[in-house]
Amino acid sequence: MTLIQKPKAHEADAYFWQYIDLVEGNDLLGELEQIHRQTQALLSEIPESSGAFSYAPGKWTIKDIICHLADTERVMNYRALRFARNDKTLLPAFDHEAYVPAGNTQGRSLSSLAEEFRMIRNSTIALFRNLESACLQNIGTANEKQISVRALGYLNAGHELHHIKVIRERYLNG
């Protein structure tokens, strides 16, 4: 199995580096697994009753954040698959703010959202594990921003790190 190293600067629009730079390691599959183990451990410690907690009016709940992570990872994986297969179609943006209310998290348990996210991450790992090395540097355009296949993988990991930090700092008081 080939080590999937961090992307080069030209492989992602500047916007995406706020997430990619959060990933410290240089082994995508290992990072995806390690980060997600930590996330799942944290989520297992949060009481079900706290899943609907929001630290301020108008802010997402913990369940909303987990739904957002799952939805975003699905979208990024779809993009990665298209770009890996040399699909040059310009892909549109997605409105993550509209996805959260449509996710119906108030009708779901925190544990069910955590389990869904776990399954999506397993799918992410399977996708990237089985991509040919040559296609990892393929670059496509989504939301008028260019990004490579491997940068999308690192974006998934960094996006998770970002939101778990928010949960720790703003929802669980450190």
Give the chain as a 3 state SS string. CCCCCCCCHHHECHHHHHHHCCCCCCCHHHHHHHHHHHHHHHHHHCCHHHCCCCCCCCCCCHHHHHHHHHHHHHHHHHHHHHHHCCCCCCECCCCHHHHHHHCCHHHCCHHHHHHHHHHHHHHHHHHHHCCCHHHHHCEEEECCEEEEHHHHHHHHHHHHHHHHHHHHHHHCCC
pLDDT for residue 18 is more than 90: yes
Q: Which fold has domain 11-171?
A: Four Helix Bundle (Hemerythrin (Met), subunit A) (1.20.120)
Average pLDDT over all residues of the chain: 96
Q: Residue 67: what pLDDT?
A: 98
State the pLDDT confidence band at 173, using cuts at 50, 70 and 90. Answer: confident
Taking only the tens place, the pLDDT of each residue in 52-91 is 999 999 999 999 999 999 999 999 999 999 999 999 999 9
pLDDT for residue 19 is more than 60: yes
Q: Which residues of 65-84 are buried (b: 16+ CB within 10 A; e: fewer)?
A: bbbbbbbbbbbbbebbebbb
State the pLDDT confidence band at 1, using cuts at 50, 70 and 90. Answer: low
Averaged over 106-126, what is the pLDDT?
A: 97
pLDDT for residue 152 is more than 90: yes
